[in-house]
């Protein structure tokens, strides 16, 4: 498959014949997570899942391997080794794979353009997108969708609200070099007959949402950053990314308390945002780091409510950072919005004895499960 064909798959889904078994591969900055699902008699079944930390595959200046939780930028051969080991340990046998494209290497934004014809719209989107994309458009794969002005007309329509004179267009862009990198990795594995790609935000939505119609905020708290999306009727209305994730908190503890990163990572997971924890120094460091994220969440909520004149009904949390003690409770109390953890494994049948394990692991596997579900849809 040519690179041009592969890039098209980022946005339009799979072009190959549908299979009954897919593996979703979520390549993050600190770990890789996979989930393999199959469709059996109309039911979706979880066949296997797994995770590998990438830190140990990256050597420091002293020639020593890193530790779990650290941010990495692996060479292609190291990334291939990590994925190959994970696939082997998890006994993955699917021939069709979907791989996530990180939000840090892609852009999602909404343009407001005049109500013009479809043919003219393409040119307008291209011209306007240049203002948002910091590299030449020849270096990215670009796609866009018109956001319906109103999916449901009802009593929530505010009387006297001004009619919009422009149309909203959701635009997504991915750097070509990222897909080329992942193509090289997947070709080196020799495991899959077809590979497609999807921006992780869309995968996380598919893995986390059920039948929500009212506006819902999805907060994906990963190692390298936090992605905030507001979705209504399955449409992304707002999106913002903050390049300060859970690894930043561990690094802050490491530097301030003069710890090894591994010990700082453990301390973060132990203390989190628990105000009653006896280690007040660690709590204060973590709390200071998270306050910036809370501020950005507040801004996104206010922007949405001001523009669309309706409240957010619920917040769903994904990503490993969301598992920090008391993070969910602080989110709920700060914004007075019902907050839950994503439960992507509930979308597939699995053994009863794994129920609690999968529920706790769920927020970290929303993207991987969402990718596999894309193949089965």
What CATH class has 3-376? alpha beta
**Alpha carbon separation from 80 to 54, 122, 330 (Å, rounded):** 11, 37, 39
Q: Mean pLDDT across the stretch 77-93? A: 96
Strand ranges (DSSP E) for the chain? 21-27, 31-40, 43-53, 96-101, 106-113, 140-146, 167-175, 194-199, 216-221, 226-232, 235-242, 314-318, 339-341
Q: Is residue 104 pLDDT above 80, yes or no?
A: no
Cα distance between residue 266 and residue 285, in whole Å: 14
Cα distance between residue 202 and residue 208, in whole Å: 10
Cβ-count burial of 65 within 10 angstroms (0-12 exposed, 13-18 middle, 19+ buried)?
A: exposed
Q: Is residue 3 pLDDT above 60, yes or no?
A: no
pTM score of the predicted model: 0.88
Q: Rounded to the nearest 5°, which phi and psi values hold at 167?
A: -110, 145
Helix axis angle, 3-12 to 176-189, nearest 10° = 100
Q: Is residue 154 pLDDT above 80, yes or no?
A: no
Side-chain half-sphere exposure of 102, counting CA atoms within 13 A: 22
Strand ranges (DSSP E) for 200-273? 216-221, 226-232, 235-242
| Residue 163 confidence (pLDDT) | 56
| C-alpha closest to that of 70 among 271, 290, 265, 266 | 265
Q: Rounded to the nearest 5°, which phi and psi values hold at 296?
A: -70, -40
Of residues 173 and 279, more confidence is placed in 279
- Alpha-carbon Rg for the chain, nearest whole angstrom, is 21
Q: Mean pLDDT across the stretch 296-310? A: 95
Taking a C-beta distance cutoff of 8 angstroms, is the pair 146, 235 a contact?
A: no
| C-alpha closest to that of 46 among 38, 57, 54 | 38
Q: Which of 43-47, 63-67, 72-76, 324-328 is predicted least confidently? A: 63-67
Query: Do the bridges between strand 31-40 and strand 43-53 make them parallel or antiparallel, or are there none, so unpaired?
Result: antiparallel
C-alpha 46 chain-centroid distance = 20
Q: What is the mean pLDDT of the chain?
A: 89
| C-alpha closest to that of 70 among 54, 85, 82, 89 | 54
**Alpha carbon separation from 250 to 202, 262, 363 (Å, rounded):** 28, 9, 19
| C-alpha closest to that of 371 among 63, 81, 37, 51 | 37
User: In the structure, what pLDDT confidence band is assigned to residue 124 with cuts at 50, 70 and 90?
Assistant: confident
Cβ-count burial of 225 within 10 angstroms (0-12 exposed, 13-18 middle, 19+ buried)?
A: buried
Query: Do the bridges between strand 140-146 and strand 167-175 make them parallel or antiparallel, or are there none, so unpaired?
Result: antiparallel
| Residue labelled with tokens 């030449």 | 136
Cα distance between residue 293 and residue 307, in whole Å: 21
- Give the three-class secondary structure for 53: strand
Q: Measure CA of the first residue to CA of the last residue in the chain; give whole Å.
A: 22
Q: Is residue 62 pLDDT above 80, yes or no?
A: no
Taking a C-beta distance cutoff of 8 angstroms, is the pair 51, 86 a contact?
A: yes
Taking a C-beta distance cutoff of 8 angstroms, is the pair 33, 367 a contact?
A: yes
> Which of 1-5, 12-16, 161-165, 178-182 ranks highest by mean pLDDT?
178-182
Cα distance between residue 332 and residue 315, in whole Å: 8
Helix axis angle, 76-89 to 176-189, nearest 10° = 50
- Per-domain residue ranges of the chain: 3-376
**Alpha carbon separation from 114 to 149, 161, 208, 234 (Å, rounded):** 13, 19, 33, 23
């Amino acid at each position: 498959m040519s690179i041009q064909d592969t890039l098209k798959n980022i946005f339009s889904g799979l072009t190959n014949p549908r299979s009954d078994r897919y593996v979703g591969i979520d390549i993050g900055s600190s770990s890789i997570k996979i989930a393999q699902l199959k469709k059996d008699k109309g039911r979706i079944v979880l066949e296997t899942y797994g995770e590998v930390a990438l830190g140990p595959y990256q050597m420091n200046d002293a020639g020593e391997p890193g530790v779990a939780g650290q941010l990495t930028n692996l060479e292609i051969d190291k990334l291939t080794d990590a994925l190959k080991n994970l696939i082997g340990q998890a006994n993955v046998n699917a021939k069709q794979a979907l791989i996530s494209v990180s939000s840090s290497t892609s852009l999602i934004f909404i343009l407001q353009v005049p109500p013009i014809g479809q043919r003219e719209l393409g040119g307008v989107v291209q011209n306007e997108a240049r203002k948002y994309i910091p590299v030449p458009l020849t270096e990215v794969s670009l796609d866009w969708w018109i956001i319906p002005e109103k999916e449901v007309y009802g009593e929530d329509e505010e009387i006297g609200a001004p009619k919009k004179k422009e149309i909203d267009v959701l635009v997504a862009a991915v750097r070509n070099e990222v897909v080329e990198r992942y193509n090289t990795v997947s070709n080196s594995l020799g495991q899959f007959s077809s590979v497609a790609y999807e921006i992780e935000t869309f995968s996380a939505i598919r893995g986390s949402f059920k039948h929500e119609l009212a506006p819902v905020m999805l907060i994906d708290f990963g190692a390298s950053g936090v992605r905030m999306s507001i979705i209504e009727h399955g449409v992304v209305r707002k999106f913002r990314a903050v390049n300060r994730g859970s690894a930043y908190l561990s690094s802050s503890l490491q530097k301030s308390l003069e710890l090894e990163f591994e010990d700082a990572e453990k301390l973060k997971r132990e203390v989190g945002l628990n105000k009653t924890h006896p280690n007040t120094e660690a709590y204060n460091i973590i709390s200071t780091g998270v306050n910036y994220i809370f501020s950005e969440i507040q801004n996104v909520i206010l922007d949405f409510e001001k523009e669309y004149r309706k409240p957010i009904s619920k917040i769903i949390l994904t990503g490993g950072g969301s598992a920090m003690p008391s993070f969910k409770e602080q989110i709920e109390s700060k914004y007075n919005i019902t907050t839950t953890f994503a439960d992507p494994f509930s979308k597939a049948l699995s053994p009863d004895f794994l129920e609690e394990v999968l529920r706790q692991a769920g927020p970290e596997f929303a993207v991987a499960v969402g990718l596999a579900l894309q193949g089965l849809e």
